[in-house]
Amino acid sequence: MKRLLFLAWMALALPLGAHRPAPSAGAFAVPVETTVYVTKTGGKYHKGTCGYLSKSKIAMALSEAKAAGYGPCSRCKPPQ
């Protein structure tokens, strides 16, 4: 009996669910914030692979780095 109720619930719930936008569809529409890396002492932000990051590597969002006054590294050319 419980199984029948479950199937009936599924039959009702599935068509309703199809009308809702999937959460992942919305996530694709929002651009993912680019992560860049800064050092403790430098005034530039870098890509994660840059050689200047050997001493310290602090991850932050690109917009955050720019807001903090960091400029793009001329060696690894991170996104601006």
Encoded one letter per residue, x for contact with Zn ion by CB under 5 A and - for no contact, window 46-75 reads x---x-x--------------------x-x
Order of all β-strands in the sheet with 71-72: 58-61, 35-38, 44-46, 71-72
Q: Total residues contacting Zn ion (rule CB under 5 A)?
A: 6
Task: Considering the complex, state which of residue 5 and residue 77 has its C-beta at the smaller distance from Zn ion.
Answer: 77
User: What is the footprint of Zn ion within residues 28-47 (CB under 5 A)?
Assistant: 46
d(CA 78, CA 48): 9
Residues in touch with Zn ion (CB under 5 A): 46, 50, 52, 73, 75-76
